[in-house]
Structures are given as structure tokens and as C-alpha cells.
């Protein structure tokens, strides 16, 4: 959620049982503004909270001009001191998938280890090698954030536009989705590099608007995503979109409320 609209958008997302205490909210409002100036972000967003056994991590993301490139993630244990997370590379994701099991411990310097004995060489020259993969908890955090973003980051259609130069920006004249349109799954798009878009035939792409429809819609997800209306007060409901392939973030309200 945008740091500027944090205080009221948190209430809308509270239906899932986790809110922030008043102290944490106050601290966030202060520290996010300072963060925005220090890192020169154009928009700083509060991404959420990852719970560990001893402590919880609060994650924030900052974006510069282009919303999709160069997203930086930061974590904090007390909502005041923020530390930059390393960007999640393919090798890091592979290592984390191998080594890290179980819950987050809450200690950013904790190391996960995984030893494997691999047989190198062929035939009689085969030697056993012990390969140890060590992963930092900070890297595990970074991969978790990136995986969750890839799978569960959802925006309403029309909220972001892509300029002809390829820059993705917020659409200033987006006035929210119609209540009837808001119930359809194809009006929600994954906010990540599109995977299915290039495979579409020209016929399907004919009624898509290239400035708005440059992302994958949710209706093409496998397994199917269900939509459910929670908090149906006011004529603009807050939606919860549930996807069954995420164990942590099982809902995602749109980034723009």
C-alpha cells in the first residue's frame, strides 16, 4: 500500500486477521516518509509482514519512475530501521529452494545449511563430493518476497499504463472499476513480466489495448483462482482474491485502493 494512503487502506485489508498495532502504524508512517527521501523513491509501498518464530519482518518496497523495473525491497524488524534486501537472482532462488526449510527464524543473520553428496566423475574415477549450500536468512527473505510478488501481486486493469517507450506508470485518470466489472476475474492482472501474453494469437490480441493490457490476467491462471467479496459495505467493495497456491499471502488487495 502506498505510504500516503496507509492509514485507511490498512483497515480494508484487516479482514484477514492481521493488522498492525497502533505503535507500528505510527512508526511506519514516520519512517516510510524518511525512507522515500533517503533512497529517492518516487513511491514507497508497504508490502507487508512476514512472521518468524522470534521476530517478524516488515517489508517495504520502493519504486522509481518505472513501476516494474528496479523495484527495491527493504526489511525492518521494528518499523523504523530499514535495511536493503539483495535482489533475487535465479541462482539465489535455486539455493534457497534447496536449503531453507521450515519457518523463518526471525534472525536475519541466521544461516541455513544443506549438504548433499554428489558423485562426480564416471566409472572407476567416481569420487564423492560433499556439496554444502549455505543460505542467509536475508536471501531467503528476498526470494520469498520475489516469489510472492510473482505469484500473488495483482492490480486492477487500467490502473497502470505502459507508455510507447516501455515505461510503466500509474494511470492518473483511473477512477476504479465498475462494480459489475469488478466481479470479473479478467479485470485483474498479475503485476509481473507477462508470461502468457506473447503466446496469444493475433485474433485474441485484437481487442486488447496495448497501453493497458500488457500484463497477464488472472482468469488464465492454473489452478483456478476464486474471487470472493468481503466487506461489501459501501458501493466500492474491497475484494479478496484467494489463490490456493500460496501459503503465506492468501489475499492481495489491489495496490491502488
Partner 1 sequence: MEITEEALNSERLQAAARFKAFMMKNSTKTNLNLYDHLVRLLTKVMDERPENAVDVIEDMSRELKGSILQEKQDTLRDSPSSSAALLLAEQQKALFTRAAGDEGDHEEDLVESPLPNVAELAFFFEQAGVGLGREEMHRVFLALKQLVDSQCLLRCRFWGKIFGTHSNYLVAEGEFREGEGEEEEGTEQTHEDEEREEEPEEDKDETELVEAADPPPKSTYKPPPPVPKEENHTGVNKYTYFVCQEPGMPWVRLPMVTPAQITVARQIRRFFTGRLDAPVVSYPPFPGNETNYLRAQIARISAGTHVSPLGFYQFGEDEGEDDGLRDSYEENPNFEGINVNEMAESLNLWVHHVQHILTQGRCVWVNVTKKSADDVDEDAEDEEREEESDEPEPEVGPPLLTPLSEDSKINDTLPWSTMISSNLIPQFSIAVLRSNLWPGAYAYASGRKFGNIYIGWGMKYIGEAYTPTILPPPQNEYPSGPEITEALDPSVEEEQALKAALEEQTAALEETEDLEEDEEEDD
Assess 110 for contact with partner 1 (CB under 8 A): no
Q: How far apart are CB 134 and partner 1 at their closest, in Å?
A: 18
Containing H/E element for 163? none
∠ CA 192-197-198 to the nearest 5 degrees?
120
**Residue numbers 169-198 binding partner 1 by CB under 8 A:** 179
3, burial (CB in 10 Å: exposed 0-12, middle 13-18, buried 19+): buried
Tell whether residue 53 is a contact of partner 1 (CB under 8 A). Answer: yes
Backbone phi, psi, residue 242, to 5°: -105, 125
For residues 35 and 12, the answer to whether their CB atoms sit within 8 Å is no
Compute the least distance from the CB of residue 180 to partner 1, in Å: 9
> Per rule CB under 8 A, is residue 19 in the interface with partner 1?
yes
CB of 200 to partner 1, least distance (A): 29
Contact characters 65-104, partner 1, x per CB under 8 A: -------------x----------------------xxx-
Burial, 73: exposed, middle or buried (Cβ in 10 Å; 0-12, 13-18, 19+)?
A: buried
Which residues bind to partner 1, rule: CB under 8 A?
11-12, 14-24, 49, 51, 53-56, 78, 101-103, 179, 226, 228-235, 237, 242, 244, 250
Amino acid at each position: 500500500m502506498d505510504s500516503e494512503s496507509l492509514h485507511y487502506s490498512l483497515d480494508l485489508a484487516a479482514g484477514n486477521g492481521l493488522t498492525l498495532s497502533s505503535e507500528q502504524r505510527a512508526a511506519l508512517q514516520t519512517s516510510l516518509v524518511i525512507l522515500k527521501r533517503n533512497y529517492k523513491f518516487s513511491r514507497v509501498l508497504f508490502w507487508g509482514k512476514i512472521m518468524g518464530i522470534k521476530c517478524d519482518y516488515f517489508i517495504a518496497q520502493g519504486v522509481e519512475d518505472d513501476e516494474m523495473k528496479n523495484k527495491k525491497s527493504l526489511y525492518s524488524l521494528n518499523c523504523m530501521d530499514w535495511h536493503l534486501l539483495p535482489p533475487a537472482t535465479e541462482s539465489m532462488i535455486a539455493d534457497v529452494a534447496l536449503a531453507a526449510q521450515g519457518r523463518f527464524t526471525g534472525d536475519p543473520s541466521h544461516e541455513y545449511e544443506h549438504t548433499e553428496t554428489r558423485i562426480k566423475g564416471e566409472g572407476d574415477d567416481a569420487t564423492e563430493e560433499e556439496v554444502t549450500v549455505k543460505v542467509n536468512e536475508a536471501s531467503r527473505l528476498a526470494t520469498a518476497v520475489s516469489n510472492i510478488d510473482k505469484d500473488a501481486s495483482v492490480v486492477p486493469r487500467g490502473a497502470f499504463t505502459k507508455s510507447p517507450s516501455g515505461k510503466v506508470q500509474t494511470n492518473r485518470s483511473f477512477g476504479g472499476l465498475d462494480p459489475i466489472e469488478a466481479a470479473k476475474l479478467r479485470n485483474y492482472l498479475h503485476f509481473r513480466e507477462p508470461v502468457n501474453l506473447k503466446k496469444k494469437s493475433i485474433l485474441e490480441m485484437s481487442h486488447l489495448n496495448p497501453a493497458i493490457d500488457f500484463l497477464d490476467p488472472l482468469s488464465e491462471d492454473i489452478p483456478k483462482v476464486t474471487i470472493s467479496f468481503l466487506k461489501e459495505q459501501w458501493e466500492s467493495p474491497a475484494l479478496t482474491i484467494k489463490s490456493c497456491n500460496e501459503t503465506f499471502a492468501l489475499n492481495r488487495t489491489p495496490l491502488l485502493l
